[in-house]
C-alpha cells in the first residue's frame, strides 16, 4: 500500500498544472478573438 499512498501527493500538482494550462489556453484564445474582432472592425 506504500506505493499507492506515495502517488496521492504527486497527482495534486498535475491537476493544478492542468487547470492552469486550461486557464491559459482559454485566456489566449479569448484575447486572439478580441484582436481579430478589432482588426475586422
**Structure confidence at residue 32 (pLDDT):** 97
Compute the C-alpha angle 11/12/13, nearest 5°.
100
**Residue range(s) defining the domain that contains residue 16:** 12-36
Closest CA to 17 of 6, 27, 7, 25: 25
pLDDT at 39 over 60: yes
Strand blocks (E) in the chain:
none
31: in domain: yes
Share of residues in the chain with pLDDT > 90 (%): 56
The 8-class DSSP code of residue 34 comes to H
Cell numbers given for 21? 494550462
pLDDT at 2 over 60: no
Q: At 13, is the pLDDT very low, low, confident or very high (cuts 50, 70, 90)?
A: confident
For residues 4-26, average pLDDT:
80
In a domain, 41, yes or no: no
On whether residue 5 sits in a domain, the answer given is no
Residue 3 within a domain: no
pTM beyond 0.75: the answer is no
Amino acid at each position: 500500500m506504500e506505493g499507492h499512498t506515495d502517488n496521492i501527493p504527486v497527482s495534486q500538482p498535475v491537476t493544478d498544472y492542468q487547470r492552469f494550462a486550461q486557464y491559459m489556453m482559454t485566456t489566449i484564445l479569448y484575447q486572439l478573438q478580441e484582436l481579430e474582432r478589432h482588426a475586422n472592425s
